[in-house]
Amino acid sequence: MASLRYGFLRRATLFARRANHWLIARVAMGALWSLRKLPPDRALDFAAAAARRIGPWFGRHRTAVDNLRNAYPEKSAEEIEAIALDMWDNMARLAAEYIFLDQLFDFDPANRQSGRIEIVGEDLFVRLAAENKPHILVTGHLGNFELLPIAAAVHGLKVTALFRPPNNPYIADYVLSTRRSTMGELLETRAGAAFALASILERGGNVGALVDQKFIDGVPGQFFGRECQTNPVVPMLARRFECPVHPARCIRLPGNRYRLEIHEALELPRNADGVIDIEAATQRLNDLVEGWVREHPGQWMWFHKRWAISRRQKRSRKNGRGTQSARS
């Protein structure tokens, strides 16, 4: 009897969660459909203005404010709130930009002053595309990071991007279809993703990864002076294939314009044997993203639970076990 009751409650919970996801997705899709009726600039500005008003109603706003207080203890409550509102502005523009990507990316190498896009390191895109060896591109959730693989593809650099889909499956399907139509190959973050990335690099391909998300049971490190866990897949792949790791980012500019940057390869820390030190290299990536976020704090997703530590990691530390597997 108890097992039947448990099964019924479980099915009811799953149904309620699915219904909630469906309802949220329908509202989101309806909002995007309405925005599509407007010119891009008006749509983006309207979405941003609405998000500034609505964002503080959500629990995620409290998470963002708490994270900002910890990251910037020297800032006043008014300054913290202003950054949080800038974050909602950025996130709303990012969501709305999905439906205008083909119009927003108007980079013209023959007339760089006329479009929305400016590229720093364009010659590097061209050079990497011509090299017959694997590369890793790393970035964070800053500005419209979705424009980076488009810029790479325009310059002949094919990149398979590792991404984590939204928790809402209906929104995830929409985002995935939109990304695939403009950004080339995509690889979902899940079991076996690291092996798939390794296969691509082994064939001389290029991969891209966002390196600023929480990763359960990841390598322990610091981000804004607080403990966090980070996915070590990029340093592990870089060590295995001895391939360069190039940082790239998007900076949102006034007037719905964007600056895309790609830089020379990072010097990743190495151990006494001369191979890349996984833990130290992972921290190097954390420091890289932190520097970017400090430059433009309103363009990062502060409501992400970046600093949550898994129970397993807490138990491991309590029992005195380190991260030997990551270092080896």
pLDDT digits (tens, 9 = 90+) for 216-255: 888 999 999 999 999 999 999 999 999 999 999 999 999 9
CATH architecture, domain 106-327: 3-Layer(aba) Sandwich (3.40)
Report the alpha-carbon distance of residue 100 to residue 41 in Å, rounded. Answer: 10
Angle between helix axes 77-97 and 2-35 (nearest 10 degrees) is 80
Confidence bin at 184 (pLDDT 50/70/90): low
pLDDT at 103: 84
Whether the predicted pLDDT of 293 surpasses 80: yes
Confidence bin at 325 (pLDDT 50/70/90): very low
Report the alpha-carbon distance of residue 4 to residue 57 in Å, rounded. Answer: 39
- In the structure encoding, which two tokens stand for residue 249, read together? 């980012």
Q: Percentage of the chain surpassing pLDDT 70?
A: 73
Check if the beta carbon of residue 107 is closer than 8 Å to that of residue 215.
Answer: no
Report the alpha-carbon distance of residue 112 to residue 119 in Å, rounded. Answer: 9
Could you read off the pLDDT of 69-117 as tens digits, one per residue? 999 999 999 999 999 999 999 999 998 998 888 788 888 776 666 689 9
pLDDT at 328: 43
Element (H, E) at 98: none
Please indicate whether residue 277 or residue 36 has the higher confidence score (pLDDT).
277
Q: Tell me the whole-structure pTM to 2 decimals.
A: 0.84
pLDDT at 102: 79
Tell me the mean pLDDT in the region 189-204.
Answer: 81
138: three-class secondary structure by DSSP? strand
